[in-house]
Amino acid sequence: MSKLESSPEAPLPLRRISQAISDWIGRLGEVWVEGQVAQFVRRPGVSTYFLTLRDVDANLSIQVTCHRSVLVEPLAEGTRVVLRARPDFYAERGTLSLRATEIRQVGLGELLARIERLKQLLAAEGLFAANRKRRLPFLPRTIGLITGRASAAEHDVVENTLRRLPGAVFAIENTATQGSTAVTEIIAALRRLDARPDVDVIVIARGGGSVEDLLPFSNEGLLREVSQLRTPVVSAIGHETDQPLLDLVADLAVSTPTDAAKRIVPDLLAELGQLTDARARLRASVHRRLDTEDQLMAGLPQRLRHGLGRLISVGTEECERAVRRNRGTLATLLQLAEADTAQLLARVVSLSPQAVLNRGYAVLWNSAGELVRAADEVTAGELLQVRVADGEFSVGVTAGASSDGDG
């Protein structure tokens, strides 16, 4: 089909535009479409069924018509279907719909197989890895809670949390937890709560249900949204036997909404009890230490006296041994000094004039006090002074020196 030519001066009539749109859509032919039945209308006396088909991941829907021969029995709302249809543009109203010629319900086996394939894909991308899990805060300022309006899951989480921590604060987002709008509503609630700086943890809670009822919590779009949040997410979906893929992506998965309350806040009474026990243990430890120190102080004077007496005794023995060593050393030194002195004295005595006198020699001085060394130094009649070993006396010279040297 050629492009329609138009301008402000030569506009096209609306019927031409509608006809062109109808022609363009008609060229698409039959297509296979998957979606979820949001509404099913059967009018009495009319052979045509009217459905509203909704996208399973996006907030998008379209009207579908089919002849009653295409369906054996009416479709329940929320049923997943795959249908073969031809787009149909109703020019008079400018509306688009699908005219189905074949409709197949997606069975449970096919749904489980799709979930398993998605599980393998996300696991390969690392969305289930343990190192991506964030720790929950010990005492969250505000708890974000996404759950059905006035649901048993909301009651279980809130009531059990307040029993454990009476001052807990909630930011509750009520959304659809099953059906065609559940995924888009939950994603929107997650984004609102994640944007709040005071929300420290987000709990997604819902009671049990069939595989079809829990399908929103295995939706790929929802799982990827949870993996990108800054706030830790707790999955509390269904009962213990239920495990949607949200349990694997969330930072913490609990078996029931009641168990979620036990994991997101501490038990105030239990914490107070632990504080009381810790205080008692600390007090007992301090008392034991004081008792030990008191016993040590009580025996300190005796230990000091005993230790001081031992030190004095050891010191006394050391002093006595030192005195004995010094005395022995001094006696040895004195003996050596006496021997040296005796030897020195003997040498001095042997060299002294007195020793010569002791051998019978005498020393003579003349009247002038000069030592007489030769016979010719005296004259007859001269008075000499004589010193012998035991004293002195005077002698007179009777004759002068002889020629042969005799005196």
Cα–Cα distance, 263 to 161 (Å, whole number):
9
Strands (E), 178-232: 199-206
| CA 216 to the chain's CA centroid | 37
CB-based contact 365:335 (threshold 8 Å): no
pLDDT digit string, tens, across residues 111-145: 677 778 888 888 898 988 889 899 999 889 999 99
pLDDT of residue 240: 57
Of the chain, the end-to-end C-alpha distance in Å amounts to: 184
Is 3.40.50.300 the CATH classification of the domain at 14-106?
Answer: no
Instruction: Just give the CATH number of 111-264.
Output: 3.40.50.261
Residue in the structure block whose two tokens are 């001066």: 9
pLDDT of residue 146: 93
Residue spans per domain, the chain: 14-106, 111-264, 267-327, 355-396
CB-based contact 163:154 (threshold 8 Å): no
pLDDT of residue 405: 46
* Residue 237: Cβ-neighbour burial (10 angstroms; 0-12, 13-18, 19+): buried
Pairing, β 391-396 against β 383-388:
antiparallel
Indicate yes or no: pTM above 0.85. no
pLDDT of residue 404: 52
Which phi and psi (to 5°) does residue 133 adopt? Answer: -70, 135
pLDDT of residue 109: 64
Listed as ranges, residues in the chain with pLDDT below 50 are: 403, 405-407
What's 68's DSSP letter?
G
DSSP percent split of the chain into helix, strand, coil, nearest 5: 45, 20, 35
Check if 14-106 and 111-264 are the same fold.
Answer: no
Which value, to the nearest 10 degrees, does the dihedral of the CA atoms of residues 243, 249, 250, 253 take?
30
pLDDT of residue 406: 47
